[in-house]
Amino acid sequence: MTFKEQLHADVDLVFMNTDEFAVDALFRGNTFPVQFIEQLDENSDAFYKLATGKYEYFSDVVVGDLIVIDEITYGVVDARSDDLKTVMNMFLNEELL
Question: Which class for 68: exposed (0-12), middle (13-18), buried (19 or more C-beta within 10 A)?
Answer: middle
Q: What share of the chain is helix, strand, coil (3-state, %, to 5)?
A: 20, 50, 35
Which residues lie closer than 8 Å to 32 by C-beta, 6 or more apart? 24, 25, 53, 54, 57, 58
Count: domains in the chain = 1
pLDDT confidence of residue 9: 66
What integer is the mean pLDDT of 24-48?
Answer: 86
Q: What is the pLDDT of residue 96?
A: 57
Residue 75, Cβ neighbours under 10 Å: how many?
A: 16
What is the CATH number for 25? 2.40.10
Average pLDDT of span 37-50 = 78
Per-residue pLDDT tens digits for 62-97:
999 999 999 999 999 999 998 888 889 999 998 655
- pTM value is 0.78
Domain that holds residue 40: 3-94
